[in-house]
A and B are shown apart, each in its own frame.
Chain A
């Protein structure tokens, strides 16, 4: 039973690490703001689910697991909401989705 849990949490943690890394590469390499946001927010959620579930399997039934579950729940609520608020802020300032071939506007609005 313990070995099964260990293997499961190992798989989850590794997958979580990979998806976190993919998100980082996506946020760095994709061409414009909204595609980067897409990469960052999706992998934020899936990475958090995988990594935190992986740790929960290691922690067993304890206070730490309850805290981890709370962290996961709050992350799944706040992280997409923050992405939504950010997209709304970008739209307010006139950034529209779409590949920008000129290399993107600079910080000057």
Chain B
């Protein structure tokens, strides 16, 4: 039955993708991207990949639509007329698609127990998580400890991406200061129902973010998801009360500090492991009991991931909003 549901959702995803490519109106494309994100998350969920599904949900539902619309506010909604190289690009795309389809013939069947992923390291992870780390969610164990280097790389990629966006978008400091429009007519403060309900929900979103952050060792969740959810709560506040109010709550400097601090915290845990006589990112030496040490290390690095993701996403959001005010 999973296969039938999955194929149905993938068909819808295909229709959405074609519609995104065909539409000339970029606003419509943004809305269809929202649907695509929901479909992908539902598909991940069907395949039992709850952690990935939660990441897609946290980023796709709250942040990405807001950032896309922020981009659209800076440009136009209409796609420019396509250049004349249509046939050439179509040929390139079809050739690439044929290669990819040809490659799928060599792949193992869906759910096959002989697939390399099932026979190579996965059984070892499933086997040893209990002995070495003793947390129920193996995904978090793999992400945080066994493959800690990869996650460290991801965090630095997120950090570098944020710095890159800031370099591109953030103008001269203080250059974009335009007096706020008269009255309290900023954000959605005139729209009473969204404002009341939104303000009511912000604490619950933050609470849920913390739950996802610290429950990651027991269920789906972790730093990436929690960072995106917390950022969504602050973005909601910025939408309701105007972006300046949100900057008063968490100024830009603090956001930069969060982005860098999270990455430093992650790296610092690794260095601390070295100083205590272990390898880089070997958490076993962090406490007397190796298992306890592993758990402490994972908790710390997940906190670092969460801080970096929150800081970077909010910095990007504010960079777009500041550009919008300048224009």
A81, B204: Cβ atoms closer than 8 Å: no
Candidates B25, B191, B193; contact of A107 at CB < 8 Å: B25
Chain A 93-109 per-residue mask, 1 if CB under 8 angstroms from chain B, else 0: 00000000000000100
B25: A residues at CB distance < 8 A = 107
Interface residues of B, count at CB 8 A? 12
Stretch binding the partner chain, chosen from B85-93, B194-202, B220-228, B296-304: B194-202
B169 interface contact, C-beta 8 A: no
B63 → A minimal CB distance (Å): 16
Q: From residue 180 to 202 of chain B, which have CB atoms closer than 8 A to chain A?
A: 188, 191, 193-194, 197-198, 200-201
Known contacts A107-B25, A107-B28; decide if A77 and B200 are in contact (CB<8 Å): yes
Candidates B191, B198, B200, B204; contact of A88 at CB < 8 Å: B191
B204: A residues at CB distance < 8 A = 74
A107: B residues at CB distance < 8 A = 25, 27-28
User: In the complex, what residue of chain A is closest to B25 when comparing beta carbons?
Assistant: A107
A77, B201: Cβ atoms closer than 8 Å: yes
B186 → A minimal CB distance (Å): 16
Give the CA-CA distance A74 to B207 in the complex, in Å: 13
Interface residues of A, count at CB 8 A? 8
B191: A residues at CB distance < 8 A = 84-85, 88
Give the CA-CA distance A107 to B316 in the complex, in Å: 29
B198: A residues at CB distance < 8 A = 81
B27: A residues at CB distance < 8 A = 107
A81: B residues at CB distance < 8 A = 193-194, 197-198
Known contacts A107-B25, A107-B28; decide if A78 and B201 are in contact (CB<8 Å): yes
Q: From residue 193 to 219 of chain B, which have CB atoms closer than 8 A to chain A?
A: 193-194, 197-198, 200-201, 204
Q: From residue 151 to 201 of chain B, which have CB atoms closer than 8 A to chain A?
A: 188, 191, 193-194, 197-198, 200-201
Give the CA-CA distance A74 to B204 in the complex, in Å: 9
Give the CA-CA distance A6 to B197 in the complex, in Å: 35
A99 → B minimal CB distance (Å): 24
A74, B201: Cβ atoms closer than 8 Å: yes
Chain A 43-79 per-residue mask, 1 if CB under 8 angstroms from chain B, else 0: 0000000000000000000000000000000100110
B60 → A minimal CB distance (Å): 16
Give the CA-CA distance A88 to B191 in the complex, in Å: 8
Give the CA-CA distance A39 to B188 in the complex, in Å: 26
Give the CA-CA distance A84 to B193 in the complex, in Å: 8
Give the CA-CA distance A84 to B194 in the complex, in Å: 8
Give the CA-CA distance A95 to B76 in the complex, in Å: 21
B188: A residues at CB distance < 8 A = 85
Give the CA-CA distance A78 to B197 in the complex, in Å: 7
A88: B residues at CB distance < 8 A = 191, 194
Give the CA-CA distance A78 to B200 in the complex, in Å: 10
Give the CA-CA distance A107 to B27 in the complex, in Å: 9
B42 → A minimal CB distance (Å): 15
Known contacts A85-B191, A88-B191; decide if A77 and B197 are in contact (CB<8 Å): yes
Give the CA-CA distance A77 to B198 in the complex, in Å: 9
Q: From residue 15 to 67 of chain B, which have CB atoms closer than 8 A to chain A?
A: 25, 27-28
15 contacts between A and B (CB under 8 A): A77-B197, A78-B197, A78-B201, A81-B194, A84-B191, A84-B194, A85-B188, A85-B191, A85-B193, A85-B194, A88-B191, A88-B194, A107-B25, A107-B27, A107-B28
- The 4 A-B residue pairs whose C-beta atoms are closest, nearest first, are A81-B197, A107-B25, A85-B194, A84-B193
Given contacts A84-B194, A85-B193, 7 further A-B contacts (CB under 8 A): A77-B201, A81-B193, A81-B198, A84-B193, A85-B194, A88-B191, A107-B27
